[in-house]
C-alpha cells in the first residue's frame, strides 16, 4: 500500500506538473503605452512599458531563460504616437514558432502611430526679416513666410541635393496635420517644356537648352537651382543642378551630364520641344500656402504655413522604421507607419512573417520590402508614398522552389510621389528602375484582391517564375510615363509560368506589357476597359492571351512586334546570361518549362508561340489586332495564332455596363459565339472584408466608374510600349 504521506506528495507532484503545463500552454500578453514606463513589468495596461523595444527585449529574456509560452506572445500597443529615433530592429532571436507566434499589434484597433520624424510648432519659426531674402520672395508670399535655422531646430538631412537625383534628393519633408506639403515648385502644377536642346551632352558633357518662359530670370543669382524633367525619354525623370542661366540668350546650362544627354531621343539634336520639366526647392517660388524650401547657402528653412491651426511634422529617420533580419513567425498588425525618410518595414531572410491591417503613409521610400519564404502583406493601406508600396521576392529560381509569399487585399494608391519612374504598387522581384542591379529572385508569389490606382507609372512590376496575379483592380495609373503597363515586365527570357487572370484593368495606360523580350505569361479571364489599355507583346515568346474581355471605343486591343531582330536580342548579354544561369537543359527547368531547353537555338529574338484566342472584343471601329512584324515574320506560323475570337460593336450581354458592372449575364451571346468561354468572376475582383479589413472604402473610391467604356474616346491609341 502507498502510505498516506506518500499519496499526498504524489498528488501534489501531479498537480504541480499539471499546473506547470497549464501555465506553459497559456500565451503571454505584454503592453506598451506612450505614457508607460520601461521600469514596469509590462504585464498589464497599468504596468505598460513605454517603448516597443522594451517589450521586444522582455521577450528575448523569456526565450533565453527557456520560459517562452507555448502559445506565443502578443504585444498590445496602446493608441498614441511613438516617435522613432532609430529603427525597431528584430533578428533571429526575436522569432516565434508556428504554434507560438510573436505578435505586435494595435490594442483593440486603437490608432497606433509610429513616426520617423519631429513635431514642431509654427512658433519655432519666425517671420522673414532679412532684406535680401525678402527681396527674393514672391510678392504674394511677403509677410506670410516663416523661417528658422536648420541648426537651431536641431534637424538633419538638409544638405544640398546631389548634382543629379531621381527621388527626394535626401532632404527631409514637411507634413501638416498628416498631409505631405509641397516643396516649392515652378510651375506649381504640371510642367513647362524645353524650347530646344542646344547641346545634348552625355555622362561627361552637361546639356544646354533654350527655355520658353521668363520665370528662370528670377533665379539668375541663385547658385542652388535644380531642374527635374523627362529630358530624354518619358520613363526617366532626373533632377539636375544648374550651372548657369543666361537670361539674354534664354539658355540654361547644366552642371552635370546625364547618360545619353538631353533632348527627346527620337528627334535629336533639338528634341521635340515637348520635354517636360520643373524647378524645385527655390525660395523665389514659394507662392502658395503650404509650400516650403531649404536655402542651402544659409541652411535655413522657409515655410508658408497653411491656413488654420495644425501640427507640423518633419521627417528625420532615414533607416527603415522596422527591420527584420532572419526572424520567423513575427506579425505586425494594425500599426500606422508615417513621416519617415526611409522604408516602412524591411524584412530579409523572412520565414512565415505577416504584416496585416497596417497603414503606411507619408514615407519617402517604399511601404514594405520582403525577401524570403511564406511571408506577406495582407489588408494594408498604403498611400502618399515617395516610391512604391510593396517589393516582394523569394524562392529559388534555379531549382524553381516556390517562396509562397503573398500580397493580398491591400489598397495601394497615390504612390511614386518623389520617385515616379518604376515605383510600382507591387514589385515582384523586378528591382525598379535599376532592374539589372536590384533584380531579385521571385518564384511562387501570389498577388491577389488588391485595389491599385492613381500613380504616375506601373501598377505591378513582374518578373520571376510561377507567379500568380489575380482578382486585382487597377485604374488611373501610367499617365505620367511611357513604355508602361498595369502589368509590366522587361528584357528577360526566363520569366515563365506567370499567370495574370481575373483582373479588372480600366481607365489606365497600358494593360499587360511584357517589354523588350520579356516572356512566358498566361493572360486569361481579365477585363480590359478604356481607350489606352490592352495587351502588347514586345518580341517576347510564349504569351497566351485567352478568354479575356476587351472593351474600347476603337481598336486595337492587342499588338505584337518583332523588335528583337533589329535590336539584336539574340546577342544581348542580359538575356543570354539569364538563360545560361538557370541551366535550362537540366531538371527542373527542362521538365517544368521544356521550351527553354532549345530556346537559344530557336530564334529567341522572335515572339514565338504567341496566341490570341477565344477573346471577347467590344469595339466600335478599327482592327482589334496590330501586328508590327516584317513580311517574313507575318507569314511564320510559329509566331502567332489568332482564333476563336468574337468581335462586336454592341453590348454582348453585360450585367449593367452603364453603371460599371461588366459581369456577363448567363444568357450572354458570348457563350454561344465562343464555345467554352469561361465566366469571369467580376464580383470577386478587388478588396474584400476580412479579419484585418473590417470595412471597405467608399464605393466612389473602390470601383465601377459609370459610363460606357465603348464610347470613351481618346486620341492616344498606344496602350503599351
pLDDT of residue 437: 84
DSSP one-letter string for 633-671: HHT-TTTEEEES-EEESS--SEEEGGGTEEEEPTT-THH
pLDDT of residue 436: 81
pLDDT of residue 705: 56
Instruction: Tell which phi-psi region holds residue 585, choosing left (phi > 0), alpha (psi between -120 and 50) or beta.
Output: alpha
- Torsion, Cα 197 198 200 206, to 10 degrees, reads -110
Residue ranges of domains in the chain: 118-184+285-313, 185-280
pLDDT of residue 710: 58
pLDDT of residue 17: 35
pLDDT of residue 660: 85
pLDDT, one tens digit per residue, over 589-640 is 999 999 999 999 999 999 999 999 999 999 999 999 999 999 999 999 999 9
650: pLDDT strictly greater than 70: yes
Contact 44, 33 (CB under 8 A): no
513: confidence class by pLDDT, cuts 50, 70, 90: very high
Q: φ and ψ at 597, to 5 degrees?
A: -60, -35
List Cβ neighbours of 156 (8 Å cut-off, separation of 6 or more).
172, 316
If you average pLDDT over residues 631-660, what whole number do you get?
95
* 209: nearest Cα among 146, 162, 126, 268: 268
pLDDT, one tens digit per residue, over 525-543 is 999 998 889 999 999 999 9
If you average pLDDT over residues 293-313, what whole number do you get?
95
Percent over 70 (pLDDT), the chain = 93
Pick from 232-241, 395-404, 708-717: least confident:
708-717
pLDDT, one tens digit per residue, over 3-20 is 443 333 334 333 333 333
pLDDT, one tens digit per residue, over 446-463 is 999 999 999 999 999 999
443: pLDDT strictly greater than 60: yes
pLDDT of residue 598: 96
pLDDT of residue 716: 55
Q: Residue 685 and residue 472: Cα distance in Å, rounded?
A: 6
pLDDT of residue 481: 92
Q: Residue 527 and residue 250: Cα distance in Å, rounded?
A: 49
Helix intervals (H) in 488-551 = none
- Torsion, Cα 69 72 78 82, to 10 degrees, reads 110
Indicate the pTM of the whole model: 0.94
List Cβ neighbours of 574 (8 Å cut-off, separation of 6 or more).
436, 491, 492
pLDDT of residue 433: 85
713: pLDDT strictly greater than 70: no
721: confidence class by pLDDT, cuts 50, 70, 90: low
Mean pLDDT estimate for the chain: 93
Pick from 44-58, 524-538, 681-695, 702-716: least confident:
702-716
Q: DSSP E strands: which ranges in 491-562?
A: 498-501, 504-506, 512-515, 521-524, 527-529, 535-538, 544-546, 549-551, 558-561
- Omega within 30 of 0 (cis) for the link into 187: yes
pLDDT of residue 658: 84
pLDDT, one tens digit per residue, over 305-347 is 999 889 999 999 999 999 999 999 999 999 999 999 999 999 9
Q: Residue 210 and residue 253: Cα distance in Å, rounded?
A: 9
pLDDT, one tens digit per residue, over 558-597 is 999 999 999 999 999 999 999 999 999 999 999 999 999 9
429: pLDDT strictly greater than 80: yes
Q: Residue 23 and residue 485: Cα distance in Å, rounded?
A: 55
Pick from 182-186, 551-555, 629-633, 698-702: least confident:
698-702
Contact 386, 170 (CB under 8 A): no
pLDDT of residue 10: 36
Contact 57, 42 (CB under 8 A): no
Q: Which residues pair with 102 in a beta bridge?
A: 73, 330
pLDDT of residue 707: 57
Amino acid at each position: 500500500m502507498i502510505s498516506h504521506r506518500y499519496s499526498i506528495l504524489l498528488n501534489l507532484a501531479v498537480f504541480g506538473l499539471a499546473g506547470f503545463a497549464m501555465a506553459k500552454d497559456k500565451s503571454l500578453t505584454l503592453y506598451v503605452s506612450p505614457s508607460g514606463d520601461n521600469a514596469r513589468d509590462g504585464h498589464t495596461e497599468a504596468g505598460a512599458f513605454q517603448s516597443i523595444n522594451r517589450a521586444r527585449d522582455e521577450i528575448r529574456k523569456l526565450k533565453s531563460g527557456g520560459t517562452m509560452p507555448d502559445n506565443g506572445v502578443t504585444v498590445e500597443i496602446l493608441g498614441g504616437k511613438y516617435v522613432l529615433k532609430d529603427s525597431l530592429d528584430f533578428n533571429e532571436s526575436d522569432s516565434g514558432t508556428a504554434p507560438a507566434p510573436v505578435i505586435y499589434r494595435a490594442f483593440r484597433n486603437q490608432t497606433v502611430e509610429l513616426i520617423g520624424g519631429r513635431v514642431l510648432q509654427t512658433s519655432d519659426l519666425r517671420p522673414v526679416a532679412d532684406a535680401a531674402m525678402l527681396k527674393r520672395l514672391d510678392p504674394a508670399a511677403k509677410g506670410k513666410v516663416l523661417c528658422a535655422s536648420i541648426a537651431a531646430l536641431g534637424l538633419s538631412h538638409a544638405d544640398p541635393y546631389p548634382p543629379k537625383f531621381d527621388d527626394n534628393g535626401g532632404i527631409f519633408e514637411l507634413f501638416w496635420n498628416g498631409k505631405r506639403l509641397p516643396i516649392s515648385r515652378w510651375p506649381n502644377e504640371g510642367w513647362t517644356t524645353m524650347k530646344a536642346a542646344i547641346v545634348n551632352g552625355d555622362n561627361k558633357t552637361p546639356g544646354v537648352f533654350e527655355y520658353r518662359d521668363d520665370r528662370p530670370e528670377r533665379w539668375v543669382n541663385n547658385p542652388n537651382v535644380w531642374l527635374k524633367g523627362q529630358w530624354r525619354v518619358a520613363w526617366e525623370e532626373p533632377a539636375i543642378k544648374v550651372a548657369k542661366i543666361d537670361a539674354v540668350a534664354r539658355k540654361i546650362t547644366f552642371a552635370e551630364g546625364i547618360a545619353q544627354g538631353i533632348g527627346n531621343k527620337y528627334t535629336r539634336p533639338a528634341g521635340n520641344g515637348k520635354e517636360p520639366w520643373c524647378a524645385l526647392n527655390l525660395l523665389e517660388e514659394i507662392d502658395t500656402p503650404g509650400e516650403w524650401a531649404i536655402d542651402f547657402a544659409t541652411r535655413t528653412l522657409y515655410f508658408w504655413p497653411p491656413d488654420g491651426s495644425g501640427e507640423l511634422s518633419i521627417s528625420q529617420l532615414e533607416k527603415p522604421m522596422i527591420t527584420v533580419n532572419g526572424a520567423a513567425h513575427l506579425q505586425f498588425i494594425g500599426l500606422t507607419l508615417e513621416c519617415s525618410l526611409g522604408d516602412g518595414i524591411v524584412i530579409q531572410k523572412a520565414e512565415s512573417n505577416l504584416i496585416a491591417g497596417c497603414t503606411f503613409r507619408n514615407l519617402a521610400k517604399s511601404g514594405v520590402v520582403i525577401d524570403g519564404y511564406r511571408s506577406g502583406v495582407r489588408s494594408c493601406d498604403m498611400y502618399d508614398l515617395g516610391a512604391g508600396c510593396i517589393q516582394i521576392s523569394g524562392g529559388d529560381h534555379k531549382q524553381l522552389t516556390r517562396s509562397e509569399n503573398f500580397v493580398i487585399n491591400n489598397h495601394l494608391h497615390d504612390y511614386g510621389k518623389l520617385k515616379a519612374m518604376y515605383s510600382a504598387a507591387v514589385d515582384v522581384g523586378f528591382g525598379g528602375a535599376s532592374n539589372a542591379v536590384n533584380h531579385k529572385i521571385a518564384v511562387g508569389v501570389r498577388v491577389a484582391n488588391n485595389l491599385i490606382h492613381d500613380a504616375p507609372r506601373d501598377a505591378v512590376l513582374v518578373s520571376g517564375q510561377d507567379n500568380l496575379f489575380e482578382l486585382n483592380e487597377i485604374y488611373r495609373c501610367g499617365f505620367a510615363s511611357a513604355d508602361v503597363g498595369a502589368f509590366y515586365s522587361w528584357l528577360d527570357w526566363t520569366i515563365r509560368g506567370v499567370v495574370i487572370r481575373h483582373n479588372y484593368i480600366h481607365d489606365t495606360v497600358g494593360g499587360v506589357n511584357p517589354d523588350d523580350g520579356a516572356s512566358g505569361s498566361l493572360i486569361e479571364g481579365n477585363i480590359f476597359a478604356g481607350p489606352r489599355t490592352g495587351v502588347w507583346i514586345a518580341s517576347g515568346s510564349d504569351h497566351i492571351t485567352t478568354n479575356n474581355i476587351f472593351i474600347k471605343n476603337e481598336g486595337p486591343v492587342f499588338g505584337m512586334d518583332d523588335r528583337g531582330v533589329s535590336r539584336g536580342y539574340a546577342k544581348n548579354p542580359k538575356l543570354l546570361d539569364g538563360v545560361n544561369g538557370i541551366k535550362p537543359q537540366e531538371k527542373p527547368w527542362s521538365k517544368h518549362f521544356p521550351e527553354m531547353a532549345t530556346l537559344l537555338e530557336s530564334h529567341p529574338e522572335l515572339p514565338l508561340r504567341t496566341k490570341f484566342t477565344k477573346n471577347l472584343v467590344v469595339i466600335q471601329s478599327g482592327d482589334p489586332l496590330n501586328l508590327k512584324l516584317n513580311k517574313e515574320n507575318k507569314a511564320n506560323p510559329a509566331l502567332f495564332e489568332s482564333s476563336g475570337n468574337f468581335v462586336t460593336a454592341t453590348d454582348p450581354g453585360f450585367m449593367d455596363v452603364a453603371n460599371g458592372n461588366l459581369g456577363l449575364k448567363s444568357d450572354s451571346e458570348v457563350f454561344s459565339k465562343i464555345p467554352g468561354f469561361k465566366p469571369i468572376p467580376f464580383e470577386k475582383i478587388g478588396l474584400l472584408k476580412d479579419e484585418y479589413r473590417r470595412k471597405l472604402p467608399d464605393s466612389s473610391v473602390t470601383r465601377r466608374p459609370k459610363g460606357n467604356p465603348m464610347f470613351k474616346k481618346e486620341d492616344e491609341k498606344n496602350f503599351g510600349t
